[in-house]
Structure 1
Amino acid sequence: MLRGPTPCRQSGFTLLEVLLVAMLMGLVAMAVTLSMGSVKGDRELENQSARLRAALQQAQEQAIMEGRLVGLRAEDQAWQFMVRSGKDRKWQAIEGDKLLARHELPEGMSLTLEVEGFSWQAERDEQAEQKRDEKERTPQVLLFPGSELTPFTLTLTLDQDGERFLRRYQGDEFGRITLQQEEE
């Protein structure tokens, strides 16, 4: 008995199998890219930027809830929030709140403040402030109980390995604080 030609078994992959493998490779590559994140310096700046943003929001809420002025004092390497004491009406640093207490920036990072179009000259203005007693120092930005604030621009800068990373926050008189697009 003779039989007709026997069907040969095909070897190889179908189009569906090839597309499935390509899709899986793409997903793995995307996961690796996302897990690596951005450059270490940019990540550190993003962490400090998020902390500053959270502190500003917390200070605004505290000013509204307590019905009193809260101030922000920015220095070249640190920031701190202040309130006026009830007795002598002098500005005092907030100590008890971890988010609003004085915060020192990591090495290589700096903070620049511009208030209502006037740049805060850290060296010159700080020298004048150094002459004042620590308890007599005043904030540069005021957050009012009605949610208004002193218009400002705060720039966090990190210079690392020849690269410069920036995060710039701008606050307007209506209490809105926004992250500005990077220009550098």
Structure 2
Amino acid sequence: MQKSATGLSTEPLSRPGRASGFSLIELLVVIVILAITAAMVVLGTATLKAGDPAETESRRLAALLQFVAEEALVQGRDYGVEFFPDGYRFLSWDPDSRLWSVVEDEAALRRRTLPPGLELVLAVDGREVVVEPEGRRRQADAESLAPQVAIFSSGELTPFELFLVQDFAADAWLLRGQVDGEVALLSPEETR
């Protein structure tokens, strides 16, 4: 074993030509697999109590928004959410055609219908948005399709407040989206 003038060994620590550790691509693949698995577990488990549909739908939508935000970051693709009085659906931005289109190839992002008696009240950038029925929007051409809330591949999203109201406005669950991509779910007790 040879030593330099400083007393340190001059022999390489590992075999030449062979790097140790994981590459960035390998780590990213594992992170994506874990994120998708975690989202599927959250969306697939029925751990929520069935007694409060507003809470169930609020938690589901919060989990879906987090899932879509992760997908947007990983895929480098912009998504959006289009809300209706009785539900919502996800859209994706096609940079080639410069149009929004409905996401139909992903089961987790299918159109969701709210239980009877549950209503959505949406405010974007501090202003209440009139949520039109889906039938009225279908009559419009594909070029006018646009989400009320956009989820960007940069991790940002359109700032919004979404109230899910069942009987009384005071008992509404609140989803609050921040421009930095943070989505907070607040119970009726926390919003009072």
Q: Report how far residue 111 of structure 1 moved.
A: 1.2
Q: Which has the larger radius of gyration?
A: 1
The answer to whether the Cα contact below 8 Å between 1:45 and 1:165 also exists between their aligned partners in 2 is: no
Q: Report how far residue 153 of structure 1 moved.
A: 0.4
* Residue type at the aligned position of 1:172: Q
- % same residue: 31
What is the CA–CA distance in structure 2 between the aligned matches of 1:94 and 1:39, rounded to whole Å? 28
Determine whether 1:173 maps to 2:179: yes
What SS is found at the alignment partner of 1:99?
helix
What is the CA–CA distance in structure 2 between the aligned matches of 1:145 and 1:77, rounded to whole Å? 27
Q: Report how far residue 87 of structure 1 moved.
A: 3.8
Q: Report how far residue 155 of structure 1 moved.
A: 1.0
Distance change (3 Å), C-alpha of 1:45 and 1:79: same
| Matches for 1:17-36 after TM superposition, within 5 Å | none
What SS is found at the alignment partner of 1:178?
strand
Aligned residue among 100, 114, 117 for 1:91: 100
TM-score, normalised by the number of residues in structure 1: 0.67
Aligned residue among 161, 178, 191 for 1:153: 161
Determine whether 1:65 maps to 2:74: yes
Q: Report how far residue 180 of structure 1 moved.
A: 2.5
Q: CA RMSD in A?
A: 2.8
Deviations 1:103-140 (A, max 9, x none): 111111111211001111135x9898465225631001
The answer to whether the Cα contact below 8 Å between 1:93 and 1:102 also exists between their aligned partners in 2 is: no
TM-score, normalised by the number of residues in structure 2: 0.65
What is the CA–CA distance in structure 2 between the aligned matches of 1:139 and 1:96, rounded to whole Å? 18
- For structure 2, the residue ranges without an aligned partner over 5 or more in a row are 1-47
What is the CA–CA distance in structure 2 between the aligned matches of 1:172 and 1:38, rounded to whole Å? 27
* Residue type at the aligned position of 2:183: I
* Residue type at the aligned position of 2:66: Q
Aligned residue among 143, 146, 155 for 2:151: 143
Aligned residue among 107, 123, 141 for 2:116: 107
- 2:141 aligns with 133
* Residue type at the aligned position of 2:163: T
The answer to whether the Cα contact below 8 Å between 2:59 and 2:185 also exists between their aligned partners in 1 is: no
What SS is found at the alignment partner of 1:88?
coil
The answer to whether the Cα contact below 8 Å between 1:81 and 1:100 also exists between their aligned partners in 2 is: yes
Q: How many residues are aligned here?
A: 143
What is the CA–CA distance in structure 2 between the aligned matches of 1:39 and 1:114, rounded to whole Å? 27
The answer to whether the Cα contact below 8 Å between 1:75 and 1:112 also exists between their aligned partners in 2 is: no
Q: Report how far residue 52 of structure 1 moved.
A: 0.5
What is the CA–CA distance in structure 1 between the aligned matches of 2:134 and 2:110, rounded to whole Å? 20
**Which 4+ residue blocks in structure 1 deviate beyond 4 angstroms?**
125-131
What SS is found at the alignment partner of 1:49?
helix
What SS is found at the alignment partner of 1:60?
helix
- For structure 1, the residue ranges without an aligned partner over 5 or more in a row are 1-36
Q: Report how far residue 58 of structure 1 moved.
A: 1.0
Determine whether 1:52 maps to 2:46: no
Q: Report how far residue 98 of structure 1 moved.
A: 2.3
